[in-house]
Amino acid sequence: MTSRIHPIAGGVGLLTVVIFWTSTVVSELSGSKAAIIAVKQAIPWALPILILALAVTGATGFRSAGDSAMPDLLAKKRRMPFIAGNGLLVLIPSAITLAVLAGRDEFGPLFYGVQTLELLAGATNIVLMSLNARDGLRVTGRLGKRSSVTE
């Protein structure tokens, strides 16, 4: 059961972050204040989905991996504190701050400073979560093993 839940929860988590990030970029590029406000105020309502998906991913991942010394699993374990910390300390507070600022129609330096931080942190988590997905696929044999470089 865990082997089925883990990739689904991980996929939902990654997809949610990608949707948040892409929606933000598209709304900003559109130049529409209404679109920016809509996106910034919608994201906090979807945070419980992301938090649940990542909690389930972490719990099932640690349970499945156990004390394994497989390099790909160790790499995933090393990335997890950065993904979680980035989410809890940067992304969630940024999303809430931006929703409040957008709701007040405050699009000044503070908004765009936090927005820049959120986009960088979000991109970082997308990369780290994608690497974890890749390594998970390697562990399960659904993706080829690492190629070794020979001279």
Residue 146 lies in a domain: no
pLDDT attached to residue 114? 98
pLDDT attached to residue 151? 45
Domain count along the chain:
1
Give the structural domain span for 104: 1-140
Close Cβ partners of 55 (under 8 Å, ≥ 6 residues apart): none
Q: Which amino acid belongs to residue 27?
A: S
Distance (Å, whole) CA 130 – CA 79 = 11
CA 1: distance to chain centroid?
A: 24
Closest CA to 10 of 43, 70, 48, 59: 59
Is 0.85 surpassed by the pTM of this model?
Answer: yes
Distance (Å, whole) CA 55 – CA 24 = 24
pLDDT attached to residue 73? 82
Domain containing residue 128: CATH number: 1.20.120
**What pLDDT, in 10s, does the model give residues 61-80?**
878 777 778 788 888 888 99
Helix/strand number for the chain, H first, E second: 5, 0
Distance (Å, whole) CA 133 – CA 139 = 10
